[in-house]
Chain A
Amino acid sequence: MDIVVLSGKGGTGKTTVATNLSKVMSYAYVDCDVEEPNGYIFLKPEQSTAMDVTLNNPVIDSDKCVHCHACVTSCEYNALVGLLDKIILFEELCHGCGACQLVCKTDAITEIERPIGEIRISERFAMGMLNLKEPMGGPIITELKKKTNHFNNRIIDAPPGTSCSVVKSVEESDFAILVTEPTTFGLHDLIKAIELIEMMKVPYGVIINRYDGYSFMDEYLEYKDILCLGKIPFSKSAAMLYSEGHLLIEDDSYKTCFVAMKKNLEALLERRSS
């Protein structure tokens, strides 16, 4: 069972929900927010095994290249430019698809593996990390999910937004939790996240973080008949726990709140599977 946690808007509490739920549900936690993974701050994993994630980049043999520019034309990502006497590669734009190698008539192109980040795996915890200046987290997320397939039950902490990295995190998940906050931006980006998740046909429910009484957010969910899995009350004590790297479930009232969400979720997942 894979449950993915996403939000649209950043800073709504994906990691708060993902880390605390993984604890109360005894699920493994997988941090797919590879641009700035921070789940480890709260879950404090034991020693981990690290491995590099690489992307295949073309290397062009200038002796064999006849400057036909077939590779340049084939590149969907504008990573190659043909000058009169050489081909320039912009490696940060290369997706490693291998099209350039396929179309080269003189076999002038070979590939090298270029590290773009790493993944770290502990017993019930894993995270991906993209190297500085690298723009593309997708390959790391794919590798991270593949390498943690042995964790039977996973909570997947997705990156913010609705980009390719989020799609990669959501792919093949059994259920999605959309975390939002009762602000105009929160609602705006929640609607985007809902659009994405409905397009990907993953069943979902919403958790409202920083809940401060009935608002337009509740109205929206009721109007659209969207399942609300729980509400996390707004309080200074929650902010303090978070800022000190503690899980909210260390506080009894928040623990009750997350246990209630867990029960909602489990009942729901059970109904769905039967």
Chain B
Amino acid sequence: MKIVLSSQGNKKESLVDVRFGRCNYFAIYDFDKKSFDFVENTGKESNQGAGIAAAQVVLKLNAEALLTERLGPKAFKVLEASTMNLFKCHGMSLEDAVNRFEANSLTLIEEPYRN
């Protein structure tokens, strides 16, 4: 099983990125291998629709769940239509987030973020 996280950096100690569409990296955690893979978010410089482009990338990764701080209305609309579970993380490292995911202590993102 795999899960995806929006990440500020490309190390397991990196923090979960508050931004989804314009995060620096997507971290992919593989529960079988117990290790992280990192994909650079090339869509972060998009003039528009960065959240949508990021959602498209995440969908292609075939992961079970997405862990991020918040999702904008467009990214939420896309991901909500998929089978992926969406979880909220606030100010924690990737490792920490994965542990909490395993311990079932993360809350679901049930609505898009509005300013």
Residues of A bordering B, CB below 8 Å: 72, 77-79, 81-84, 86, 88, 90, 93
Contact = CB atoms under 8 A, between A and B. Distances in A.
Interface string B48-75: 1110110110010000000000000010
Nearest to B21: A78
> Is the contact region of chain A dominated by helix, strand, or loop, or is it mixed?
loop
17 contacts: A77-B49, A78-B48, A78-B50, A78-B52, A79-B52, A81-B56, A81-B78, A82-B56, A82-B59, A83-B81, A83-B82, A84-B82, A86-B81, A88-B77, A88-B81, A90-B49, A93-B49
Contacts of A78: 43, 46, 48-50, 52-53, 56
User: Is the interface on chain B under 10, 10 to 19, 20 to 34, or 35 or more residues?
Assistant: 10 to 19
A83 B60 CA distance: 9
Contact of B52 (A84, A86, A93): A93
Question: Nearest 8 pairs between A and B by C-beta?
Answer: A78-B49, A78-B52, A78-B53, A81-B78, A93-B49, A81-B56, A81-B52, A93-B48
B59 A83 contact: yes
A78 B42 CA distance: 13
Contacts of B48: 77-78, 93
A8 to B, nearest CB: 20
Contacts of A82: 56, 59
A78 B82 CA distance: 18
B78 A88 contact: yes
Given A78-B49, A78-B50, A90-B49, A83 B43 contact: no
Nearest to B46: A78
Contacts of B77: 88
Contact of A72 (B56, B81, B82): B56
B49 A79 contact: yes
Contact of A81 (B46, B47, B55): B55
A90 B74 contact: yes
Contacts of B50: 78
A90 B52 contact: yes
A186 B77 CA distance: 40
Contacts of B82: 83-84
